[in-house]
Chain A
């Protein structure tokens, strides 16, 4: 088990639901990341937070809304998702932006 945890591990939601993914790191890191991993595609970086400030939004649709209340916690709020948003969502953290990243186990999201 690494120092990055994600909940829930699995989530099934309808297109009209609102849900949130949570990520917590216990490593004292200052940068946190959200990635989307779809089948047969490279990992897609979604958002980057450095010292609680968003430093990267990789043209992510507004139905994904990140929140970083402190350096240890990162949320991804989901609203009105589409079936093509079904994927594994990975959270990662690093001591500084650019250092090696430590990943959580991911949340497997299915949108019906």
Chain B
């Protein structure tokens, strides 16, 4: 069974600074997807970024980028120029297997300090 581990229950960052959230996963498959989701206090879960395992190039979306290390099974999220609106719970998720079920980590609560 796949597992997703987010080792940082909480993180904080100063506004305009950069922060990196860690995620590791365990799988025996070669074809899968990885996602970062954001859940602000309003509770609406929003997709931040997606990475296909077959792609070596790290995905980027504006201020959000990932460091995907397939051999190490690591998928960290970097947020540059942090903004107050980035404060949220961030979930790392793995999608794979015969039915591509998503497996979520426990989440990292990010606080952005003004």
Contacts and interface: CB of A to CB of B under 8 A. Distances in A.
Interface stretch (A14-22, A76-84, A99-107): A99-107
B105 A42 contact: yes
Contacts, number: 47
Given A48-B99, A56-B99, A97-B99, A102 B47 contact: yes
B106 A106 contact: no
Q: Is the interface of A mostly helix, strand, loop or mixed?
A: loop
Interface residues of A, number: 22
Contacts of A90: 45
Contacts of A102: 47
Q: Is the interface of B mostly helix, strand, loop or mixed?
A: strand
A104 B96 CA distance: 22
B64 interface: no
Contacts of A97: 99-100
B91 interface: yes
Interface in A59-107: 88, 90, 92, 97-106
A66 to B, nearest CB: 16
B104 interface: yes
Nearest to A2: B44
Interface of B: 4, 33, 35, 37, 42-47, 50, 91, 95-96, 99-102, 104-107
25 contacts: A2-B46, A42-B105, A42-B107, A45-B102, A48-B101, A55-B99, A56-B101, A88-B43, A90-B45, A97-B100, A98-B33, A98-B99, A98-B100, A100-B35, A100-B47, A100-B50, A100-B95, A101-B47, A101-B102, A103-B37, A105-B42, A105-B43, A105-B44, A106-B43, A106-B44
